[in-house]
Structure 1
Amino acid sequence: MTDILDPTSGTPTAGGDAATDQGASPPATDAPGAEPDTAPGVLLYPRLRKSPYFWASREHGVKLYSVYNHSYHPRLYTDPLEEYWALRNDVTLWDVGGAERQIEISGPQAFDFTNLVIPRDLSKCKVGQCKYVFITAPDGGIVNDPVLLRVEENRFWFSLADSDVLLYLLGLNYALGMDVEIKEVDVSPVQVQGPKSKQVLVDLFGDSILDLPYYYLRRYQLDDMTVEISRTGYSGEIGYEIYLYDASQHGVKLWSRIWEAGQPHGMRPIGPCHMRRIEGGMLAYGCDITLDTNPLEVGYDYKWMVDLEQEADFIGKDALIAARERGVSRLIAGLEISGPSLGGYIDGSMIEPFPVYRAGESVGRVTSACRSPELDKNIGLALLAVEFTAIGTELTVETPEGARHATVVPKPFVDPTKETPKQ
């Protein structure tokens, strides 16, 4: 009998092929014309990967999983709004150990190879520094948007978004024949995010953690565990990512140690908070950006992600120079959208992108949208024809509940200079 997660109760229910095993007929709901289940479960079985923290995080009562990088990824424990305010006011613990796979590039030509696959100038990244980067394809399309960590002079990690970068990089190097080793390593992060995260990290690692600058990393020991800690995160809040070596061996132990240290500070487990990341204008690979999107289209607030003037070559450079010369035809813009709440994004309120129109003509699509708790407004990121991205442009968004008025506004919607996570 296979367990299927009930996304409403968070408990496994009997299902899968049990009825077939007993010779019974399939449930009547599978019959043609039957009403579909509006909240189907996620099958738990051996084929999909599990984070080193899977069993520890599951003990807290995961209510909803998604599949990310071929791994089960906890998305919700209680309620999206409760988790949002826990992140904003206190401290939260995230199991991202399966989702953020670590691809390591090492060896004599590690710098040259890594510099070849990103459009940022790697010579500006020191040992012990992190950079948010795009990995680009020959046509300039975005293969992935990981955080790059320069762990040593010739050792780099890509902390991945959701795509098969390992296969892409292995294929590239098969053709290039450079002197590098490319592999997935047994290193898995957890995220500790929220205004009280500094206090939790001090209790675990001492006051020296307070000297760690934004987007830098440092190695620490915790009991018999070795970790790299970075001042990074997918929250727009003060936060850290703790990358555990030999994670398959020590994952449950590390989770327990962090959880114990977090209790005096009100720590609670949550999934990545998409309402907060949309407020912060943070991109989600697979919806806001894909292989079909190039870095020049993500908006002017990300122009620092591409250095077309650097001396070094990179994959997609010629295509992006040509795109710059002819001018992009679309950009990601911010929208305020009228009407009742559009929900929390991970609550089933946005199954598909929302079409966007101007005077009845299709001009793009909303790729991520929610009701902002901070602003008490519906907001969204939209990929629009460039002529409709000027601030104040009025548009129509087609939602499942009907057409709504929308206005182009600046993004990020909240904390536009990202002062909060730099504190």
Structure 2
Amino acid sequence: MADLKRTPVFEAYSRYGAKTIDFGGWELPVQFSSITQEHEAVRTKAGLFDVSHMGEVDVKGEGALYYLQRLTTNDVSKLAVNQAQYSAMCYPDGGTVDDLLVYKYADDHYLLVINAGNIDKDFAWMQENLTDNVTIENISAQTAQLAIQGPDAERILQKLTTTDLSQIGFFRFERNVVVDGVPCLASRTGYTGEDGFELYMDADKAEQLWHTILEAGKEDGLLPTGLGARDTLRFEAKLPLYGQELSKDITPIEAGIGFAVKVDKDVPCIGNDVLKAQKENGAPRKLVGIEMIDRGIPRSHYPVFVGDEQVGEVTTGTQSPTLKKNVGLALVKSEFAAIGTNLDVEIRGKRLKSVVVAAPFYKREKK
């Protein structure tokens, strides 16, 4: 796999039996043991992900808040220091540039975390829309990120730090958490439907910490976890993946993340008119859960029909490891989005029956 980018943890993969694939120009592990085993570990114990391919952009200056209000769909003015926020960036037509996280360090200092495959495109968009008194810096190359996810994540990570992790609430973070001697930003957001932490650190410290965390969690059943399980986990929790549930042709409202779109804030975001109209009048399409009635697995981009009319397509689908059912997410015309609606999915030239069901497919029980 020549010319693929690699994370600072890459050299450690082989020790744990990784099978790597090309993921958006990066050579990343799809699995270490098996997708099902790793999925199960995250749902019942814990898994460790190398997500150092993700992008990070530093935003500073007295104009930072105005800039981010215009750039992103959520209301950044509502953030407290050490709080994170899920958001999106949109084009003027409402299509999605990317979904992202905004971390507030101070009134004039923020960190944006963006998707790996979009780093160059996103940064160009941010530069193109730069406003006064703001500087932005792409710090992706010098920043690594590890994520430990699952019901035992806090207990395992607590062995390696004196910071009381129970004090970091959901969508909160602390900047100077020392984990086994390595200074980290530790946040609690998650992309699996489980509790857990993201650790951001200098790239040259990531491989050492990867080994340390796996060793600390060995007796607890912590497993190194690849992109395969990351995808099945986030899919069951109905967390969108850019390029599937979100794209330049799909608005955040259509994708079901309207909660991250605030259309009445002081500084309207780019695309606000379209987003506001969709919020008020309904979007033309809607992301729904589907469950197969006939035997077959719905996969990304499979067309969805009602009678002879194509009414949408599958965005993600698999056999859910938790539910043991063939399920999918599909973007369909809104008039066919009601629970109980029968839809046909075209799988290898055959139209197979499915039904619209409630999603997310999985919700963890809160303690």
Determine if the alignment matches structure 1 residue 372 to structure 2 residue 320.
yes
User: Secondary structure of the equivalent of 1:295?
Assistant: coil
Q: What is residue 338 of structure 1 aligned with on the other side?
A: 293
The alpha-carbon deviation at position 411 of structure 1 amounts to 1.1
The Cα shift of 1:325 comes to 5.4
Query: TM-score normalised to the size of structure 2?
Result: 0.92
Unpaired stretches in structure 2, ≥5 consecutive residues: none
Mapped contact 2:291–2:356 kept (Cα < 8 A): yes
Offset, 1:49: 2.0
**Distance across 1 between alignment mates of 2:17 and 2:65:** 43
In the alignment, is residue 409 of structure 1 matched against residue 357 of structure 2?
A: yes
**Deviation at residue 338 of structure 1 after TM alignment:** 2.2
Matched, 1:167 2:115: no
- In 2, Cα distance between equivalents of 1:123 and 1:255: 35
Match in the other structure for 1:37: none
Residues 260-298 of structure 1 show CA distances to partners (whole Å, capped at 9, x for unaligned) of 211121211111422222211111110111011112212
Q: Report the Cα distance in structure 2 between the residues aligned to 1:181 and 1:79, rounded to whole angstroms.
A: 40
CA deviation profile, 1:177-230 (whole Å, cap 9, x unmatched)? 543233224222111011111111110113611121011101212354210111
Report how far residue 146 of structure 1 moved. 1.4
For residues 98-138 of structure 1, the C-alpha deviation after alignment (integer angstroms, 9 at most, x for no partner) is 1x111111122222211211111111111111111111112
- 3-state SS of the aligned residue for 1:59? helix
Give 2:105's aligned residue. 151
Question: Which residue pairs with 2:196 in the alignment?
Answer: 239
Q: Cα gap change, 1:207/1:106 in structure 2, threshold over 3 Å: closer, same or farther?
A: closer
- Is 1:135 the counterpart of 2:92? The answer is no
Structure 1 portions without partners, runs of 5+: 1-42, 343-348
Higher RCO (C-alpha under 8 Å, 6+ residues apart): 2
Q: How does 1:379-394 map to 2 (within 5 A)?
A: 379-394=327-342
Give the number of aligned pairs. 360
Equivalent residue, structure 1, for 2:20: 64
Matched, 1:329 2:284: yes
TM-score w.r.t. the length of structure 1 is 0.80
% identity of equivalent residues: 29
Q: Specify the SS of the correspondent of 1:297.
A: coil
1:266 corresponds to which of 214, 218, 221: 221
Q: 1:124 is matched with which residue?
A: 78
Cα contact 2:84–2:172 (8 A) shared by 1: yes
SS at match of 1:296: coil
**Which residue of structure 1 lines up, in the alignment, with residue 207 of structure 2?**
252
Distance verdict in 2 for CA 1:61–1:156, change over 3 Å: same
Instruction: Report matched runs for 1:9-408 at 5 Å.
Output: 43=1, 45=2, 47-68=3-24, 70-98=25-53, 100-161=54-115, 162-163=117-118, 164-173=121-130, 176-185=131-140, 186-206=142-162, 208-219=164-175, 220-244=177-201, 246-247=202-203, 249-272=204-227, 273=229, 274-299=231-256, 302-324=257-279, 327-340=282-295, 342=297, 350=299, 352-400=300-348, 402-408=350-356
Offset, 1:375: 2.1
Q: Is the 8 A contact 1:97 1:189 kept in 2?
A: yes
Structure 1 consecutive aligned stretches of length 4 or more whose deviation exceeds 6 Å = none
- Would the aligned equivalents of 2:191 and 2:234 in 1 still touch at CA under 8 Å? yes
- Higher-Rg structure is 1
How far the C-alpha of 1:368 sits from its partner, in A, is 0.3
Please provide the CA RMSD for this pair. 1.9
